[in-house]
A and B are shown apart, each in its own frame.
Chain A
Amino acid sequence: MRFRGWYWLLLIASLLIVATIGIAYGAASVSLGGVFAALHGSGDPTSIAIVRDLRLPRVVLGALVGAGLGASGAALQGSLRNPLAEPYLLGVSGGAAVGAVIVFALGFSSDGAVTVAAFVGSVAAVILALAVSRVGARGSRVDLRTLLVAGVIVGAFANATIMVALASAEPNTVRGALFWMMGSAADATWPRVIWLALSIAIAGGALIYWAREIDVLALGEETAASLGIDAERSGRRIFLIAALLAAATVAAAGLIGFVGLVVPHMARRLGLRAHRQLVLGAALIGATLVIAADLAARTVAAPTELPLGAITALLGVPFFLVQLRRAT
């Protein structure tokens, strides 16, 4: 498929439509007129609270998480030249979970504490993965593929730590941590949304700024070298930015799998090739997918909420299969 300019309009329009539906529907039935009035701060105070304090931040948070994971996945798959690369494979998710579980186990699971601990945990895991890959290289040049292996190793170690911690923890603690690991946009608050928006603006901006380097890295290390780019340095830089981007989303909404893996493939199927466009396209598709998944998570079995990470996969897989079929 060749990408055409008006596809951008299509992507933006579907994001806006899904976001509007996400604000209009939920477990409580508020009339469309009521939703509109509530957005302007008039009408029944319960509807205002539901629309402005619950649904709106939740939809925005979902969009940001999806955008961050999509962009991060696109950059990683390109720079590591591996279609199976995804943010959660880099130890980011494991590190974040270790951070969160520690905070839950210590008993202060206030909103800010979990977010900060998850972020610190994932950054620590990424630094550890970089260190492991350096040890593997023994001073010589680091093969970028080693980074992926190092990430998987750090992730496995983190998972083992979590299992041991949860087995010996109090049931209440375990429950809190498990809920967190299933991923959810339910705890969206404006401070959290703003914090995530800033992180995504900075890290996403950096990815787009260095998008040409991802293009070159995607051609292979030797080609990169012949084009005058230090593949190792540049690869590490992209790895670090993409990991930080994913870490910010994990800190804000827990683990929401699948998006970082599949969304970049969807963007490529639309015909996006150059990474400047690919990262942007993946961000838009990711945002739309997560808002739609969250809408399903909170309405399908209402008032019970389904785990968001499972819904993203349920929605994403058929999409992916249809595209795969068309491509062959």
Chain B
Amino acid sequence: MYFIRRLSLVALAFAFTVAGCKKAEAPRAAATDDFGDSVRIGAAPSRIVSLSPATTEILFTLGAGPRLVGRTKYDLWPDSAKLVPSVGDGLRPNVEAVLAVHPDLVVIYASQDNRPAATRLRAAGVNTLALRGDRISEFRRVVQLLGATIGDTARAKILADSVYHTLDSVLAATRPLPKPTVFWHVWDAPVITIGGGSFMNDLVDIAGGRNVYADIKAPSGTVSLEDVSRRDPDIILAGPDGKHQIESDARWRIVRAVREGRIFLVDTGVVARPSVRLGEAAVLIAKLLHPGTLH
């Protein structure tokens, strides 16, 4: 497992070097973004504002980090992202603060409450790309659209291929293994978990587990402690705060996995974003679900 991951990283680095040598200038064209609006592609924007952590991560991986002139206050990965000035929130962003850094491309999360901001940015003449990739299956489309918009489709393809390659190898490795049931703890009061509509549910599947709340169609849902105990998960996944809350609250002891001490810590910075580290996230979770069997 570790070997596969190392190998894919080396391949990725090599491929990027090759791609970087080729200077392909695609003709100017337009594509449709996730708001159904037209976005100019093929140009090479030099002042990019990225308004979601996932797209900031992808842009850095595509080598466009030096061209970023704005990010949200939540975009903290990779470390060099912290050097890019923050323009505040990514949901209902401050349009004035975004315009103030004179962007020639703004990448925004395509949720309904961001529509007014996207409309305003377009009206001010800024090329705006609204993206919404909440599922693993959407990652390729998001990366390719981003790549096309910043004028680098070659690297985008390599990045998408590499992430799916890692995910495929994790899936292949976990396929023959038994499937432990998983409860993913997101929030404590009220108890919120991951539903079938989230990429984190997909991650559990790939890592060789089964989300006990896969039947919730939405990305997340509020559930009762009683129902968690009834569904009797083998393993609980939680962030640092969540693990502490579960362990310090006696009520959680009605859940067998808690009594038996099977609460595993996950790095929410890695697993909570549908981005370039999806492969890493799948490896991380697979190791927690199948200790000792994967290498």
Taking A46-B102, A49-B99, A50-B100 as contacts, is the C-beta distance between A298 and B123 under 8 angstroms? no
- Interface members, chain A 19-77 (any B CB < 8 Å): 26-29, 45-46, 49-50, 53-55
A49, A109, A303: the one contacting B87 at CB < 8 Å is A303
Q: How far is the CB of B265 from chain A (nearest CB, A)?
A: 24
11 residue pairs A–B, Cβ–Cβ below 8 Å: A28-B99, A45-B124, A45-B125, A46-B99, A53-B120, A54-B99, A55-B96, A172-B111, A187-B116, A303-B97, A305-B92
Contact A107 B112 (CB under 8 A): yes
Taking A45-B125, A303-B86 as contacts, is the C-beta distance between A27 and B219 under 8 angstroms? no
Q: Among B96, B102, B119, which residue has the most Cβ atoms of chain A within 10 A?
A: B96
Contact B99 A110 (CB under 8 A): no
- Interface members, chain B 119-176 (any A CB < 8 Å): 119-120, 123-125
Contacts of B179 in A (CB 8 A): none
Taking A107-B112, A172-B111, A303-B86 as contacts, is the C-beta distance between A49 and B94 under 8 angstroms? no
Contact A171 B124 (CB under 8 A): no
Contacts of B115 in A (CB 8 A): 109-111
- Interface members, chain A 162-189 (any B CB < 8 Å): 167, 170-173, 175-176, 179, 184, 186-187
Contacts of A184 in B (CB 8 A): 92
- The chain A residue sitting closest to B192, CB to CB, is A171
- Interface members, chain B 51-110 (any A CB < 8 Å): 73, 86-89, 91-97, 99-100, 102
Contact B124 A46 (CB under 8 A): yes
- The chain B residue sitting closest to A109, CB to CB, is B112
Contacts of A170 in B (CB 8 A): 218-219
Contacts of A175 in B (CB 8 A): 91, 111, 113
Contact A171 B97 (CB under 8 A): no
Contacts of A109 in B (CB 8 A): 112-113, 115
Complex CA distance for A146 and B111, rounded to whole angstroms: 43
Complex CA distance for A107 and B113, rounded to whole angstroms: 10
Contacts of B120 in A (CB 8 A): 53-54
Contact A303 B94 (CB under 8 A): yes
Q: How far is the CB of B48 from chain A (nearest CB, A)?
A: 16
- The chain A residue sitting closest to B220, CB to CB, is A171
Contacts of B8 in A (CB 8 A): none
Complex CA distance for A176 and B91, rounded to whole angstroms: 9
- Listed in ascending order, the chain A residues whose CB lies under 8 Å from chain B are 26-29, 45-46, 49-50, 53-55, 104, 107, 109-111, 167, 170-173, 175-176, 179, 184, 186-187, 298, 302-305
Contacts of B88 in A (CB 8 A): 27, 302-305
Complex CA distance for A260 and B84, rounded to whole angstroms: 42
Complex CA distance for A186 and B94, rounded to whole angstroms: 8
Does B222 sit at the interface, judged by CB under 8 A?
Answer: yes
A29, A49, A167, A179: the one contacting B113 at CB < 8 Å is A179
- The chain A residue sitting closest to B98, CB to CB, is A303
Complex CA distance for A176 and B123, rounded to whole angstroms: 22
Q: How far is the CB of B49 from chain A (nearest CB, A)?
A: 11
Q: How far is the CB of B135 from chain A (nearest CB, A)?
A: 14
Contacts of A107 in B (CB 8 A): 112
Residues of B in contact with A, size category: 20 to 34
Contact A179 B92 (CB under 8 A): yes
Contacts of B100 in A (CB 8 A): 27-29, 46, 50
Contacts of A298 in B (CB 8 A): 94, 96
Complex CA distance for A50 and B99, rounded to whole angstroms: 7
Contacts of B96 in A (CB 8 A): 26-28, 50, 54-55, 298
Contacts of B73 in A (CB 8 A): 304
Contacts of A27 in B (CB 8 A): 88, 94, 96-97, 100
- The chain B residue sitting closest to A58, CB to CB, is B96
Known: A303-B94, A305-B94. 12 other contacts (CB 8 A): A28-B100, A46-B102, A46-B124, A49-B99, A54-B96, A170-B218, A171-B219, A172-B111, A175-B111, A176-B111, A184-B92, A304-B73
Contact A104 B222 (CB under 8 A): no
Q: How far is the CB of B97 from chain A (nearest CB, A)?
A: 4
Contacts of A302 in B (CB 8 A): 88, 94, 97
Q: Among B91, B102, B116, B219, which residue has the most Cβ atoms of chain A within 10 A?
A: B116
Contacts of A187 in B (CB 8 A): 116
Contact A304 B219 (CB under 8 A): no
Contacts of B95 in A (CB 8 A): 54, 186
Complex CA distance for A111 and B112, rounded to whole angstroms: 10
Contact B125 A49 (CB under 8 A): yes
Contacts of A179 in B (CB 8 A): 91-92, 113
3 A-B pairs closest in CB distance: A28-B100, A303-B88, A303-B97
- The chain A residue sitting closest to B94, CB to CB, is A303
Q: How far is the CB of B190 from chain A (nearest CB, A)?
A: 9
Contact B218 A171 (CB under 8 A): yes
Contacts of B116 in A (CB 8 A): 111, 186-187
A26, A54, A104, A186: the one contacting B112 at CB < 8 Å is A104
Q: Among A27, A53, A110, which residue has the most Cβ atoms of chain B within 10 A?
A: A27
B89, B113, B125, B220: the one contacting A176 at CB < 8 Å is B113
- The chain B residue sitting closest to A171, CB to CB, is B220
- The chain B residue sitting closest to A49, CB to CB, is B124
Complex CA distance for A304 and B115, rounded to whole angstroms: 18
Complex CA distance for A237 and B111, rounded to whole angstroms: 41
Contacts of B102 in A (CB 8 A): 46
- The chain B residue sitting closest to A55, CB to CB, is B96
Contacts of A104 in B (CB 8 A): 112
- The chain B residue sitting closest to A301, CB to CB, is B88
